[in-house]
Amino acid sequence: MFVDQAKISVKAGDGGSGAVAFRREKYVAAGGPDGGDGGRGGNVVFQVDDNRSTLADFRYKRKYTAPNGENGRGKRCHGKDGADLVVKVPRGTLVRDAETGRLLADLSTDEPQVIAHGGRGGWGNSHFATATRQVPRFAKPGLPGEQWDLKLELKLLADVGLVGFPNVGKSTLISVVSEAKPEIANYPFTTITPVLGVVSLGEGNSFVMADIPGLIEGAGEGVGLGHQFLRHVQRCRMLIHLVDVSGSEGRDPQEDFRVILRELHRFDPELAERPMLVAGNKCDLASEEQIESFRAFVEEQGYEFFPIMAAIRYGVDPLLQRVAGMLSQLPPVRRYEAEPLPEPVPEAGERHEVTVREADGVYHVEGKWLVPVVDSVNFDDYESLQYFQRLLLRTGVIDALREAGVQEGDTVELYGLEFDFVE
């Protein structure tokens, strides 16, 4: 089954929490804090696998989660990092954020792409020892790993795309110029999935050709089968527009030509501007007058015309030689640049984004970055509380409360933690 779109969810591993521990050994006085840091969570990495040709596997497994980092331990032992989760996809897969449509990666090369980064491990209490705070009884929890809902979209990598109405001979052409074996029959929509074939013209001279299922009028708006696969033409360096010059299907070749160009333009205006050759197939069924009339029409549009009979390879070699000559002067297969990711969360000491809202005399403070901060505080420990208060000052939470109109003695709620505001 050819599947070229899929939606999945990925979750990188959470960082391990730092340890609260103290060195207690015989003959070692005042050993002090020695809690180790937590390990980093595993990344979710996408890797090209040339043994895969569709996204069918992602119809059955839709959730991918990398391992968490291990917690730190005593004796300053660092927790083990979570192993990276490698997700294998066919070459040419685009990875997008399902919510915004932002392109995260184009898997067209062998280079692995980190899509979701694992969370950083938390610091152990050994990091918080100072001259005045010699026995810190708190540590930092690990940060959560990134989580994405993704849309995967496969766009085949081919140098040349065959386009045209159903039953004009595209499958026949690719079968005689390459080792591809598409189904060939005398009825429309015989080809229902894209077919790739490698065309070899001698040592060191080859290119990849893609047979795209037949287009019909309205394909750009979703009519017929071809609209499902027009995305695979977008990467092609050039096109071969195949037309039944004999009109054996009861259609006008000139009108067929106009319709296909119009549908390509509706789907993506760049496609209509792509370098293109026109091949008039089934010349054995057409009169010389029909062929020459269509040749004049095509050349008036500014395209080169090649009369062929694909089934017996008549006129095919000159067409392929011209294709090879054009490809030698065209840029490589199109690859898409990933759009920049959001800015990372600022480090402590910078003003963090918070929202303060007042309801029934209680000031509610919200900010995603505050959740792990609250979890890290030991409210039974005086020094941990002091650290928490200084953090609220440094990150602008206290300023945000003042801007919202909080007064001394008012109640402040912060993710389940309630306290009275004191200047």
What is the average pLDDT across 7-27? Answer: 87
Where do the DSSP E strands lie in 29-129?
A: 44-48, 63-65, 85-89, 93-97, 103-107, 113-116
DSSP state of 368: T
- Kindly report the CATH class assigned to 355-420: alpha beta
Work out the burial of residue 389: count CB atoms within 10 Å of its CB; fewer than 13 is exposed, 13-18 middle, 19 or more buried: middle
Look at residue 223 in the predicted model and tell me its pLDDT: 45
Report the range out of 34-48, 131-145, 176-190 with the highest average pLDDT.
34-48
pLDDT, one tens digit per residue, over 302-320 is: 999 999 999 999 999 999 9
pLDDT at 155 over 80: yes
pLDDT, one tens digit per residue, over 254-280 is: 999 998 888 888 888 888 888 999 999
Structural domain spans, the chain: 1-154, 160-327, 355-420
Report the range out of 129-133, 196-200, 228-232 with the highest average pLDDT.
196-200
pLDDT, one tens digit per residue, over 79-125 is: 999 999 999 999 989 999 999 899 999 999 999 999 999 988 888 88
| pLDDT above 90 coverage of the chain, percent | 35
- Kindly report the CATH class assigned to 1-154: mainly beta
Q: Tokens 């392929």 appear where?
A: 320
Look at residue 220 in the predicted model and tell me its pLDDT: 44
pLDDT, one tens digit per residue, over 198-212 is: 898 877 788 999 888
What is the average pLDDT across 244-248? Answer: 88
Q: Which two tokens stand for residue 422?
A: 């004191």
Q: Is residue 94 classed as helix, strand or coil in its secondary structure?
A: strand
15: confidence class by pLDDT, cuts 50, 70, 90: very high
DSSP 272-341: HTS-EEEEEE-GGGS-HHHHHHHHHHHHHTT-EEEE-BGGGTBTHHHHHHHHHHHHTTSPPSP-PPPPPP
Look at residue 352 in the predicted model and tell me its pLDDT: 66
> Are the CB atoms for 199 and 177 separated by under 8 Å?
yes
pLDDT at 187 over 90: no
Look at residue 219 in the predicted model and tell me its pLDDT: 43
What is the average pLDDT across 213-233? Answer: 59
Residues 137 and 126: their CA atoms lie apart, in Å, by: 10
H or E element in which residue 399 lies: helix 397-403
Q: Mean pLDDT across the chain, nearest whole number?
A: 83
Work out the burial of residue 355: count CB atoms within 10 Å of its CB; fewer than 13 is exposed, 13-18 middle, 19 or more buried: exposed
What is the average pLDDT across 359-388? Answer: 74
Look at residue 30 in the predicted model and tell me its pLDDT: 66
Q: Which CATH architecture has domain 160-327?
A: 3-Layer(aba) Sandwich (3.40)
Q: Is residue 245 classed as helix, strand or coil in its secondary structure?
A: coil
Look at residue 97 in the predicted model and tell me its pLDDT: 92
Q: What angle do CA 49, 10, 339 make, to 5 degrees?
A: 75
pLDDT, one tens digit per residue, over 394-405 is: 888 888 888 888
